[in-house]
Structure 1
Amino acid sequence: MDVADLTPAQARERFRGGERTPTAGWCRGWTQANLIAVPQELAYDLLLFAHRNARACPLLDVGEPGAVRTRLFPGDLRTDLPGYRVYQDGRAVADTGEVVAEWRADLVPFLFGCSFTFERALLAAGVPIRHLEQGVNVPMYRTNVPCEPSGPLAGPLVVSMRPVPEALVATAIEVSGRYPMVHGAPVHTGDPAVIGIGDLGRPDFGDPVEVREGETPLFWACGVTPQAAVMASGVEFAIGHLPGHMAIIDARDEDYRET
């Protein structure tokens, strides 16, 4: 079966069974989300961080301390994503396929919006999605744009990039702007150096993609931003999704589209 035709439950079952892959293009019409789970003592700070940096951290769902599922994610958060990254004292210490042993009773799971949600709307409008064309993970970059801090949490804005033909830039901005709960319109277009990106061929997360003549790089706020804050702030312990390897939730893309 084409992965685009899977339901969220079917995709989660495959990930629980060991499939490891970026999830762009999976589960047509169903929403994908960024996961970050932090100790309960940091949960309010992360909630406030999300409020202050809503473009990068649009909150879709949050669980109780120790919860392994949420209202929108009825699977198991420890096993039903295709990849996880574990942090200790702000350092990434493990990339793994499941986190049953690492999950703690004090962890509060947060699910944030993902720009994969509006990619099919972009495709329908004729805007190409290069990482889908090339079969790779979306490129993501740390920027020189600081997030608004909250308590001990601070760090840089992270962005995802998609190259768009110049004639379609306005279309891409308009279409993605209809989805404010999943990052909305780009935060920057054009010269990557303006936001501190020195080389598009060397993303901080994900894979590089081809930028062709006559195309403009567009940069969207990215839900990996909380993980960048975990690293920059030296958070004692946290678990996130492996960038590009998302939680597929029981909500439809159109649930987050403004009319």
Structure 2
Amino acid sequence: MDVADLSPAQARERFRTGERVPTAGWCRSWTQANLIAVPSELRYELLLFAHRNPQACPVLDVGEPGVWSTELFSGDLRTDLPGYRLYRDGRAVADLDDVVAEWRADLVPFLIGCSFTFERALLAAGVPVRHLEAGTNVPMYVTSIPCESTGSLAGPLVVSMRPVPEELVATAVEVSGRYPSVHGAPVHTGDPAAIGVENLAAPDYGDPVEVRAGEVPLFWACGVTPQQAVLASGVPYAIGHLPGHMAIMDVRDDHYRVA
């Protein structure tokens, strides 16, 4: 079966039993989300960070301390994503297939919007999505743009990039702008150096994609931003998804379309 035709439950079962792959293009019309789980004493701090940086950190769902499912994700957050990253004292210390042993009773899971949600809408509008064409992960870059900080969380904005033909830039901006809960319109168009991205061929996360003649790089706020704040702020313990390896939720993309 084409992975685009899988239901969320079918995809989660495949991840639970060992499939490890970026999830762009999986489960057509079902919403994907970033995972970040932090100790309970940081949950309100993370909520405040998200509130102050809503384009990068649109919160779709939050679980209770210690739980591994939420209202919008009926699977097991410890096993049903295709990859995880463990953080200790502001360092990424391990990439894991599951986090059953690492999931603590005080962890609060947050599900953050993902730009994969509007990629089908881009395609339907005739906008190419290069990493889907190539079958690779989306490229993601740490920028020089600081997020608005809180008492204990700070860090730079992370962006994802998709090259778009110049004549379709306005279309891409309009289409993605209809999905504000999953990052919305691009935060930057054009010169990567203007946001501190020196080399498009060397993303900080994900895989590089070809930018062809006549194409403009478009940069969207990315839900890996909270993980970058965990690194920058020295958070003692956290669990995130492996960038590009998302939580596939039990809610449709159209639920987040506002126009």
Q: TM-score range by the shorter chain?
A: over 0.9
2:39 corresponds in structure 1 to 39
Aligned-partner Cα distance in 1 for 2:149–2:45: 9
Number of equivalent positions = 259
Match of 1:195 in 2: 195
1:105 aligned residue:
105
The residue matched to 1:133 in structure 2 has which SS? helix
Q: Where do 5+ consecutive residues of structure 2 fail to align?
A: none
1:20 matched to 2:8? The reply is no
Specify the alignment match of 1:2 in structure 2. 2
Which sections of structure 1, spanning at least 5 residues, go unmatched? none
How far 1:74 moved relative to its partner?
0.6
Structure 2: how far apart are the matches of 1:256 and 1:122?
14
* Identity over aligned pairs, percent: 80
**Could you say which residue in structure 2 is the equivalent of 1:124?**
124
Q: Aligned partners of 2:71, 2:51: CA distance in 1, in Å?
A: 20
1:151 Cα deviation from its structure 2 partner: 1.6
Partner of 2:218: 218
What amino acid sits opposite 2:98 in the alignment? E
CA distance in 2, matches of 1:66, 1:203: 33
Amino acid in the other structure paired with 1:161? M
SS in 2 for 1:68: coil
Q: Determine whether 1:77 maps to 2:77.
A: yes
CA distance in 1, matches of 2:246, 2:90: 21
Over 2 Å off, 4+ runs: none
Partner residue in 1 for 2:55: 55
Q: TM-score, normalised by structure 2?
A: 1.00
Structure 1 CA distance for aligned equivalents of residues 227 and 148 of structure 2: 15
Structure 1 residues 230-241: aligned runs within 5 Å: 230-241=230-241
Are residues 1:66 and 2:63 paired?
A: no
- Give, in angstroms, the shift of residue 134 of structure 1: 0.8
Distance 1:233 1:85 in 2: 16
SS of 1:227's equivalent in the other structure is helix
Query: Is 2:245 aligned against 1:252?
Result: no
Q: RMSD of aligned C-alpha atoms?
A: 0.4
